A and B are shown apart, each in its own frame.
Chain A
């Protein structure tokens, strides 16, 4: 998994690509969030457009990130989740936890 970051209106947008499956991915994502929180940026959008698949340990990475940001007073939201991955969010009931958007502008404005 690779992570590219840019910011808009105080919101960090993390563009993830590849497979989201735990292991080193968890450490890399956790470190990125810790750095953002340290810099005072606690509202994060994870762009999933280039994520090919997620497994159950990958879901754990997103849950961990969501919890970390929530504890810091921020929030983690999702952008451009594919139908395949959305199906996993539905069966695991995690769609009730993560706000998800199709459009980046709309996702950024949701933090205003």
Chain B
């Protein structure tokens, strides 16, 4: 069973928590790991930050769109903006530990199974996040589950 939910938000950082809150609500009805869900939530916050700030230049008249595709054990989230996008193929994480910016892609890459960038059919820039929500992961990491 596959469900699809679409969300449109003005490019105003005040709304950044909404896609995460919706994800947590959707995940509450799924047999999934809390940690995986939170990692995907952090990733969608980064994708939306990028879309609002760099894509739509924080113009509240420009919407970003967030599309959730929910399957049995995984969620695919696509975030669309009106900006020109950027070339991810040559992206390298900075070695400067104390930099104030530039961790969004790193967080998305580390917290998802698949991170894709590209252009949607209608010309909008697209970030797609895919994550399998393995319910056994919480058990692996829960100290109360018998691990020494």
Q: Which A positions have Cβ atoms within 8 angstroms of B?
A: 19, 21-23, 52-53, 55-57, 59-60, 63-64, 66-67, 83-84, 87-88, 91-94, 96-97
Contacts and interface: CB of A to CB of B under 8 A. Distances in A.
Contacts of A96: 97
Task: Report the interface size class on chain B.
Answer: 20 to 34
Contacts, number: 63
B35 A56 contact: no
B98 A56 contact: no
Given A55-B46, A63-B98, A84-B42, 12 more contacts: A21-B45, A22-B13, A53-B17, A53-B42, A57-B49, A60-B99, A83-B35, A87-B35, A88-B42, A91-B110, A96-B97, A97-B98
B61 interface: no
A94 B107 CA distance: 12
Contact of B45 (A55, A60, A97): A55
A57 B42 CA distance: 12
B39 A56 contact: no
A63 B100 contact: yes
B30 to A, nearest CB: 18
B35 A19 contact: no
